[in-house]
């Protein structure tokens, strides 16, 4: 079970999304997951190995690394991507349930072709509209929460070159040097920017859905 399988699972959701939703899914897979897998993981690959402290005291490096990096950027991004893509499965489950109900209704008459039913596009209205809107809302919440967690944990989005550590068993204060700080800062800002774009897309999709339903309601009355 890896990113490829997640893509296969979410690919199915694509059929029932709005156009903005499809763009969002593409941005997620190409500019976030793919960048994470092909580039970012290598940049952070030697983060602990090449974290060097100016001391021979055994254990000091481990403790200082643990103190300054409670959870690595890569793991946080992986969790963020998993949480952000999962609400789409709510929509997939609702669509599957709607189809199942339709099949049950028409199975006795055998009038509707089962294959046709499978390929028929389900319109986003009624309870499905609520499920879809909730999923977008959760996506926005998760994105915001993770952006805040990043900001809070790493005091801004920049990777320092040098950190000063005085945790036991380091003798006094020790200089520790982070590996590839500029490259890490570049990727952090890139992932932040794409995360911002995804949030904008989600907000736009939310507005679009709300406006569409308001227009429909006003037409009805």
Q: How far apart are CA 143 and CA 138, in angstroms?
A: 9
By the rule CB under 8 A, 141 interacts with another protein: no
In our burial notation (b when 16+ CB lie closer than 10 A, e otherwise), range 106-117 reads: eeeeeeeeeeee
Taking the complex as a whole, how short is the minimal distance between the CB of residue 159 and another protein, in angstroms?
17
Please report, to the nearest 10 degrees, the dihedral formed by the alpha carbons of residues 80, 83, 88, 90 taken in order.
-170
Measured CA distances, 129 to 11, 17, 21, 56, 83 (Å): 19, 11, 13, 61, 21
Q: How far, in Å, CA of 158 to CA of 185, rounded? A: 5
Question: Given the complex with another protein, which of 4 and 156 has the nearer CB atom?
Answer: 4
- Least distance to another protein from the beta carbon of 60, Å? 8
Contact status: 158 vs another protein (CB under 8 A) = no
Binding another protein (rule: CB under 8 A), the pick from 23, 43, 79, 206 is 79
Residue 3 CB neighbour total at 10 angstroms: 16
* Widest CA span in the chain: 82
In the complex, minimum distance from the CB of residue 7 to another protein, in angstroms, rounded to a whole number:
12
Does position 115 interact with another protein (CB under 8 A)? The reply is no
Whether residue 40 contacts residue 77, with contact meaning beta carbons closer than 8 Å, is answered with yes
7 binds another protein (CB under 8 A): no
Shortest CB 192 distance to another protein, Å: 19
| By the rule CB under 8 A, 94 interacts with another protein | no
Q: Does 199 bind another protein (CB under 8 A)?
A: no
Chosen residue from 23, 34, 35, 78 binding another protein by CB under 8 A: 78
Radius of gyration of the chain (CA): 23
Among 30, 39, 52, 93, binds another protein (CB under 8 A): 93
Determine the size of the site formed for another protein (CB under 8 A): 38
Residues that bind another protein (CB under 8 A): 1-6, 41, 48-49, 57-59, 61-63, 65-66, 69-72, 74-75, 78-79, 82, 86, 89, 93, 97, 105-111, 169
């Amino acid at each position: 079970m890896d990113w490829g399988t997640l893509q296969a699972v979410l690919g199915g959701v694509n059929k029932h999304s709005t156009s903005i939703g499809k763009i969002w899914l593409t941005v997620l897979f190409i500019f976030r997951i793919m960048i994470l897998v092909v580039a970012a993981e290598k940049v952070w690959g030697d983060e602990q190995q090449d974290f060097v402290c100016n001391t021979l005291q055994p254990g000091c490096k481990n403790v200082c690394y643990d103190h300054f990096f409670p959870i690595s950027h890569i793991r946080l991004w992986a969790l963020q991507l998993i949480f952000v893509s999962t609400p789409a499965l709510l929509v997939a489950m609702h669509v599957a349930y709607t189809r199942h109900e339709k099949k049950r209704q028409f199975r006795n008459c055998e009038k509707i072709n089962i294959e046709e039913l499978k390929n028929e596009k389900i319109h986003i209205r009624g309870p499905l509209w609520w499920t879809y809107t909730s999923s977008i809302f959760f996506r926005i919440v998760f994105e915001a929460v993770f952006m805040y967690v990043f900001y809070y944990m790493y005091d801004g989005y920049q990777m320092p070159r040098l950190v000063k550590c005085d945790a036991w068993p380091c003798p006094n204060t020790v200089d520790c040097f982070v590996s590839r700080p500029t490259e890490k800062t570049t990727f952090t800002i890139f992932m932040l920017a794409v995360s911002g774009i995804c949030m904008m897309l989600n907000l736009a999709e939310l507005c679009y859905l709300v406006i569409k339903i308001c227009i429909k309601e006003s037409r009805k009355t």
